[in-house]
Amino acid sequence: MERTITFADGVKVCTLGQGTWKMGQSASRRNEELKALRRGLDLGLSVIDTAEMYGNEEFVGEAIRGQHDKAFIVSKVLPSNASYKGTKLACERSLRKLGIECIDLYLLHWIGHHPFAETVRAMEELRQAGKIARWGMSNLDVADMEQILSLPGGTHCAANQVLYNLKERGVEFDLLPWSMRHAMPVMAYTPIGEGSLRNHPLLKRIAQKHNATPTQIALAWVMRNPGVMAIPKASGIGHVEENFRSLSISLSEDDLDELDSVFPAPQHKIPLAGW
């Protein structure tokens, strides 16, 4: 089974990435969290997702120091900074904190008051200048994504990052099909529902069949569709290794039917969950 996501420019990354929300904030946990990210890199989990809002870009930079070649760094500009000039300044700040010369994927974190046209123009100029390798969006639904693609340079939009898990399936109604038609990878954040799925009885039962854990089942479910990657946070080496093993799980049709019966797919348009 293919376990990579391919961007429009042909670059492939592992379907499972590493989220960092709230990591790097605690002095007592910092070393363990650094080791976790580095263990993920060693396992091939190249995508590390951060944002200027997280306040941990320097922490991520420390984690990848000396092995940036293994990493695919994602960061995000705050909507309040996403004017034409503000986007460029924010990118420069992120590059300095990360200690790198080019961000692999730079996203608008969510919709703000600055016109998309300003943000996209800045993103395109950053890409052409080699400050970012590609850019995309986060927390945008179909109508807004259509608007992005209609702008000059907008067809270079490389990805969309959204909230997606068994409990939050709204994106399946129209955003996922739209993204697949446009060959645009979707990055699923909070793929195990902030841990709320870890103790669900159905996931426990399916996990037993696969000699797995409920977390691994939840991740395998998110990654069942080509073009969708999961970016769970793991703040310890054991957690990273648990997540990694989800890549070897293939859910059966019976498994998927059971999950659908408890976590039904949307039958109508649902407003995008998340920010």
pLDDT by residue, tens only, the chain of 275 residues? 569 999 999 999 999 999 999 999 999 999 999 999 999 999 999 999 999 999 999 999 999 999 999 999 999 999 999 999 999 999 999 999 999 999 999 999 999 999 999 999 999 999 999 999 999 999 999 999 999 999 999 999 999 999 999 999 999 999 999 999 999 999 999 999 987 899 999 999 999 999 999 999 999 999 999 999 999 999 999 999 999 999 999 999 999 999 999 999 999 999 888 76
Cβ-count burial 188-199 (b if 16+ within 10 Å, e if not)? bbbbbeeeebbe
Count of CB atoms within 10 A of residue 28's CB? Answer: 6
Q: What CATH topology corresponds to 4-262? A: TIM Barrel (3.20.20)
Residue 2's pLDDT is: 60
**Bridge-partner residues for 161, per DSSP?**
138, 187
Residue 275's pLDDT is: 64
Residue 195's pLDDT is: 75
In angstroms, the CA 204 to CA 1 distance is: 24
In angstroms, the CA 58 to CA 183 distance is: 32
pTM for the model stands at 0.97
Residue 196's pLDDT is: 80
Question: Element (H or E) spanning 145, and its range?
Answer: helix 142-150
**Following DSSP, what letter does each residue of 47-74 receive, concatenated?**
EEE--GGGT-HHHHHHHHTT-GGG-EEE
- Contact between 96 and 129 (Cβ < 8 Å): no
Residue 274's pLDDT is: 75
**Secondary structure letter of residue 87 according to DSSP:** H
3-state secondary structure of 98: helix
Nearest to 135 by CA among 126, 144, 146: 126
- Contact between 107 and 75 (Cβ < 8 Å): yes
**Domain ranges, ordered by start, for the chain:** 4-262
Residue 152, C-beta contacts closer than 8 angstroms, at least 6 positions apart:
117, 120, 121, 124
C-alpha dihedral (171, 177, 183, 184), degrees to nearest 10: -10
Residue 163's pLDDT is: 97
